[in-house]
Copies of this chain bind each other. A is one copy, B any other.
Amino acid sequence: MSGKEVQLVVVGSIGIDTIETPVERRESILGGSASYACATSAMYSHVGMVGVVGADFPEAYENLYRHFNIDLAGLQKKEGETFRWSGVYKENMDDRDTLSTELNVLAEFAPRLPDRYRKAPFLFLANIGPDLQQEVLDQMEQPKFVAMDTMDLWINIQRDALVKVIGQVDLLTLNESEARRLSGEHFLPIAAERLLAMGPRYVLIKKGEHGSMLFSQDDIFVLPAFPLNNVQDPTGAGDAFAGGFMGSLAALGEVNEDTIRTAMVYGSVVASFAVEAFSLERLKTLTRADIETRANLFRDMMRIPGALVPA
C-alpha cells in the first residue's frame, strides 16, 4: 500500500480516552480526531494519516489503523506517552465534562509530511491546535480542496492563529455552539455569514442529533440526522462525520454543490454508525454496503413529495 497515491491527507489528534457515558465507562480506548476521521474517510479514499503517538501506544491500535487501510507513513512514534483525554457525558449525551487532558507527546508534535502525501488533492485538518494545522497546510503542494475542523478550546485560547488558518481553507466545519462562539452571533445563517467572511467558501455546521447545515455565499443545505435508538458513546461523532464527508468527497473527485451535499449524507450516516459503540468498535466491522443501506433508508426518510396544496 505504501506506494499508492494518497487522495486525502488527514492530520489530527491521536489519543487514549477514558470515557463515561450514561451507558458505560470504558478505560484507555482508542480515540482522537485523526483516529475517527481516518477510519471513516479510508472507507472511501486512500488516506494518509498525520499524527503522533507515544512509545506506550498499543500495537493492537496500530494494527486497527492498518485494518482500516489507513496509510501510516505520516504517523510518528515518539519517546513518552500518548495524548490522553478523559471525560464524562451527562444524561442527555449532549453535554460533557472533561476530567483530564494530558498532552504528552502531542505537546512537542512537529508534523512532517512524507513526500507522497504532499501532492494529495484533498486535505482535512481535523481538530488539533491551529499552529499544527498551519504546519501541515504549509507542507502541501497545491491541494484542490482543504477542509478544517476546530473546537472551543482553540477559539478561546488561540483565536488569532485559528482565524489565520480559516482564511486559507475551502471549508470550515464546527459545531453549533462553536459557530456561535467564533462568530459572536446566535442565529446560524448570520453566524455562517460572519464565518464565510473569514475566507472559506463553505461553512459546515454540525448539530449532532439535530443534523447539519452547509452554508456558502449562494446556497444553504439543511440536513437532519439519521434518527437513532441507540447511542453508546457520542465521542468522535463530529470527526466521523467529517471523515465520511471528506472521504466520499475525495472519491467523488469534483467539488460542487451536488457532490458536497452527497458527501454530507454519507458523513451523517457514517457518524450515525460511529456513535452506536465506543471508540472505533462499530466502524471496525462496518462495510460500504451497510452505509449504502442506511443512506437509502435515510433518503426515504427525507423524501419531500411533489404534491402541492391546491391554490
Q: How many copies of the polypeptide does the oligomer hold?
A: 2
List the B side residues contacting A98 at CB < 8 Å: none
- List residues of chain B with CB within 8 A of the CB of A305: 258-259, 261-262
Q: Are A262 and B308 in contact, CB atoms less than 8 angstroms apart?
A: yes
Q: Which residue of B lies closest to A185 (CB)?
A: B229
Q: How far is the CA of A231 from the CA of B231 in the complex (A)?
A: 32
Is B309 a contact of A44 with CB atoms below 8 Å?
Answer: yes
Binds B, one of A24-32, A103-111, A144-152, A215-223: A215-223
Residue numbers in B under 8 Å from A44 (CB-CB): 309
B residues near A211, Cβ cutoff 8 Å: 210-211, 224
A288: nearest chain-B partner, CB-CB: B311
Pick the residue among B223, B228, B303 that contacts A224 (CB under 8 A).
B223
Contact A189 B228 (CB under 8 A): yes
A210 to B209, CA, bound (A): 9
Contact of A309 with B252 at beta-carbon distance under 8 Å, contacts A92-B186, A207-B210, A210-B207 already known = yes
A positions within 8 Å CB-CB of B: 44, 91-92, 186-190, 207, 210-211, 213, 219-231, 248, 251-252, 258-259, 261-262, 265-266, 288, 299, 301-305, 307-311
Identify 12 new A-B residue pairs, CB closer than 8 A, beyond the known A91-B186, A210-B211. Answer: A44-B309, A189-B227, A189-B228, A189-B229, A211-B211, A222-B301, A252-B307, A261-B303, A261-B304, A261-B305, A262-B305, A299-B304
